[in-house]
């Protein structure tokens, strides 16, 4: 099996946890042990989110703004890709050594091409960084675009353009033959083409959409998205809530089009699943870290088939 496994940002830092590196390393070690039985037997690219980590880098910049110059968002994307990649890479390396498996593990800083004319640049909608009170948001509105995150306060919003192409896709495809690869961290580093040159842009690409783009690029058969719930639910958080165990592309598209999966929760994962299957993928699995091994065997999670 050739697969892309997309880890949610909460795999390293769960809501309400103390955001220390020690906490993230502890959570990473647990998560890698859960998926190690899969990655040691298959051709795997591991991707990951960076929401909490990018948020804290933005907060650090805000606190230190009078002392140091501000870093653009594409640089912060690269920082988190290196930071999280290092933590995951070390855990997998140690597991390989412990299990006496001769396999390489490598992290790739991944640039992802977006369209400079993408409408997302005119209508930023991706929430990043810390929460602010109404008073704090008012003071910051001349520096950032800030919107109300319903029920939770005010946050900065940035563009989230659609991924078009993984710049390092050919390198990933070569390396996966004998290595475990970590790539497209946090959705990758957004870049645009001007002439024949690449330039970074301030944005955050959705991690699941970028993972689907990568999976199609390397002709992976499976896309596995690990989130914080056991599977995909219809009528989520209502008395009629029920989990989808197995479904097809046609059925999931119908549910998506009728509004079953909101943009702020399962929506991007379902959009990524649809894109992946429509462009050559065979199977999508959506589940949590504790159920992933069972889901691979068809005994848990949600499976979407072409």
9 classed as catalytic: yes
Catalytic residue, chosen from 55, 126, 188, 281, is 126
Is residue 126 part of the annotated active site? The answer reads yes
Given the residues 55, 85, 186, 207, the one annotated as active site: 207
Question: Catalytic: 14?
Answer: no
Select which of 9, 129, 231, 300 is catalytic. Answer: 9
Of 166, 174, 171, whose CA–CA distance to 217 is shortest?
A: 166
Quick check: is 103 catalytic? no
3-state SS, the chain, equals CEEEEEECHHHCCCCCCCCCHHHHHHHHHHHHHHHHHHHCCCEEEEEECCHHHHHHHHHHHHHCCCCCCCCCHHHHHHHHHHHHHHHHHHHHHHHHHHCCCCCEEEECCCEEECCCCCHHHCCCCEEEEEEECHHHHHHHCCCCCEEEECCCEEEEEECCCCCCEECCHHHHHHHCCCEEEECCHHHCEEEEEECCEEEECCCCCCHHHHHHHHHHHCCCCEEEEEECCCCEEECCCCCCCEEECEEEHHHHHHHHHCCCCCCCCCHHHHHHHHHHHHCCCCEEEEEECCCHHHHHCCCCCEEEEC
Catalytic-labelled residue, pool 185, 186, 269, 281: 269
Is 94 in the active site? no
Residues taking part in catalysis: 9-10, 126, 207, 269
């Amino acid at each position: 099996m050739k697969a892309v496994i997309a880890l949610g940002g909460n795999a390293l830092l769960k809501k309400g946890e103390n955001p220390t590196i020690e906490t993230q390393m502890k959570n990473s070690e647990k998560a890698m042990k859960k998926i190690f039985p899969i990655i040691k037997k298959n051709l795997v690219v591991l991707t990951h989110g960076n929401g909490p980590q990018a948020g804290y880098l933005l907060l650090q910049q805000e606190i230190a703004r009078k002392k140091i110059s501000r870093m653009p968002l594409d640089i912060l994307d690269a920082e988190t890709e290196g930071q999280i990649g290092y933590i995951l890479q070390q855990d997998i390396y140690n597991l390989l050594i412990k299990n006496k498996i001769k396999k390489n593990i490598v992290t790739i800083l991944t640039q992802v091409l977006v369209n400079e004319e993408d409408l997302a640049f005119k209508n930023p909608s991706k929430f990043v960084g810390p929460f602010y009170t109404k008073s704090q948001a008012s003071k910051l509105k001349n520096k950032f675009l800030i919107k109300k995150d319903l029920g939770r306060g005010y946050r900065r919003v940035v563009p989230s353009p659609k991924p078009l192409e993984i710049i390092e896709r050919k390198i990933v495809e070569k390396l996966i033959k004998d290595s475990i690869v970590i790539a497209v961290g946090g959705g990758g580093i957004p870049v645009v083409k001007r002439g024949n040159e690449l330039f970074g842009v301030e944005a955050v690409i959705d991690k699941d959409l970028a993972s689907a783009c990568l999976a199609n690029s390397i002709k992976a058969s499976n896309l596995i998205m690990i989130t914080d719930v056991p599977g995909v639910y219809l009528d989520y958080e209502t008395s009629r809530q029920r989990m989808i165990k197995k479904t097809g592309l046609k059925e999931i598209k119908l549910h998506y089009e009728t509004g079953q999966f909101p943009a702020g929760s399962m929506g991007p994962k379902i959009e990524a699943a649809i894109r992946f299957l429509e462009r050559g993928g065979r199977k999508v699995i959506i589940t949590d870290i504790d159920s992933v091994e069972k889901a691979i065997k068809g005994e848990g999670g949600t499976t979407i088939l072409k």
